[in-house]
Amino acid sequence: MPQVATTANARDLWGTVGARIGIIRRNYRVVPGLYAVGSPGPESSVLVTANYKLSFDALRLPLTGVDAWLLVLDTRGINVWCAAGKGTLSTEEVIQSVNRFRLSEVVSHRQLVLPQLAATGVTAQEVKRGCGFQVLFGPVRATDLPTYLHQGKQCDEAMREVTFTLPERAVLIPVELFLLAKPLLTILALVFLFSGIGPSLFSLTAALDRGLLLLAATMLGIAGGAVLTPLLLPWLPCRQFWLKGLWPGLALAACTYPLFAPRIAVTEQLALALWAVTVSSYLAMNFTGSTPFTSPSGVEYEMRRGIPVQLAATCLAVALWVSRPFF
């Protein structure tokens, strides 16, 4: 039986950094199976988790002084809540893992503690019917597990509620930025293309001079939508994210106006501001997928309103920007 530590070593820390930045996020896994923390016996609790390494670490690291079995399911390297939503952390997967790893030969009781968020994919009654094990939904956060176990597997109300605190939001920003690297290459090409078009067909000097300005406006939009929006989320007015994203975009455009304005025409100023605000709005809308409280019906509702506006604003900004050298 593999024994796992309840402390993180240098490799774990670098792995966490790599996953949080996004570089190794898709392939940061643990081998599914049964693991031991402390020195568990037949009476010890069985704690179930996903085989994403960050989920596994989140579970094992708070367990200093606890004797328990860890049952790691095969969720294809996806975290508990996403895997439950996608169907890889399912009733069937729990039943199969219990059987595959012969849990009934290891423990004398018939009880599993699953993270509460696994309930999106797991039906407790069907697990019981399928393999004889009763499912208890434990706390949302593994850090509450020692208290939960100490209280005789009872949750306080606060342990059952999802939070989205400033640190919880801030830690998501690196991945938001990392995911932009690829689309940014396409945007970079278009930025220089649109900036160089002029009466002489294409001017390389203009492409570089004006292109840098347009690139700077793009960066402002990214800062607004992918950095400031997550940080300021609860204080941004409006419920719809594409509207929330307007404020940081507008604020950044206003703050940098004195830097841009003297060098360019009014139509160009307008184009840059419009573009920065649109990028911010779009990225704020994309942040819905990273939050723990947006519903698919709500996201669809706001996308049907936000995307047409964003598209129109983009077309207007491009038209203003490209047409300028012709006047």
Partner 1 sequence: MHGYRYIEGTATLEVDRQRCVGCGNCAVVCPHRIFALSTEGLEVRAPELCMECGACARNCPVQAISVAPGVGCAVALLSAWINRLLGRKVLSDCC
One of 48, 78, 80, 98 touching partner 1 (CB under 8 A) = 78
Q: Are 1 and 36 in contact (CB under 8 A)?
A: yes
CA distance 195 to 205: 9
Q: Which is nearer to partner 1, 214 or 226 (CB)?
A: 226
Specify which residues 197 forms β-bridges with: 202
One of 117, 217, 228, 246 touching partner 1 (CB under 8 A) = 117
Q: Is residue 226 at the binding interface for partner 1, with CB under 8 A as the rule? A: no
Q: Is residue 160 at the binding interface for partner 1, with CB under 8 A as the rule? A: yes
In whole angstroms, how close is the CB of 164 to partner 1 at the nearest point?
6
One of 2, 42, 132, 234 touching partner 1 (CB under 8 A) = 234
Q: Which is nearer to partner 1, 44 or 51 (CB)?
A: 51
Q: Is residue 113 at the binding interface for partner 1, with CB under 8 A as the rule? A: no
Two structure tokens written together for 34: 């049964």
Q: Is residue 162 at the binding interface for partner 1, with CB under 8 A as the rule? A: yes
Q: Is residue 178 at the binding interface for partner 1, with CB under 8 A as the rule? A: no
Q: Is residue 295 at the binding interface for partner 1, with CB under 8 A as the rule? A: yes
Specify which residues 198 forms β-bridges with: 201
For the chain, report the end-to-end CA distance as a whole number of angstroms: 76
- Phi then psi for residue 267, to 5 deg, are -65, -35
Compute how many other C-beta atoms are within 10 angstroms of the C-beta atom of residue 114. 25
**Cα atoms found within 13 Å of the Cα of residue 87, Cβ hemisphere only:** 0
In whole angstroms, how close is the CB of 290 to partner 1 at the nearest point?
8
DSSP code per residue over 235-252: GSSSSSHHHHTHHHHHHH
Two structure tokens written together for 312: 């129109």
**What's the full length of the chain, in residues?**
327
Site stretch for partner 1 (CB under 8 A), options 67-75, 145-153, 210-218, 280-288: 280-288
Which residues here bind partner 1, judged by CB under 8 A?
78-79, 81-82, 84-86, 116-117, 119-125, 137, 140, 157, 160-164, 179, 234, 239-241, 285-286, 288-303, 307
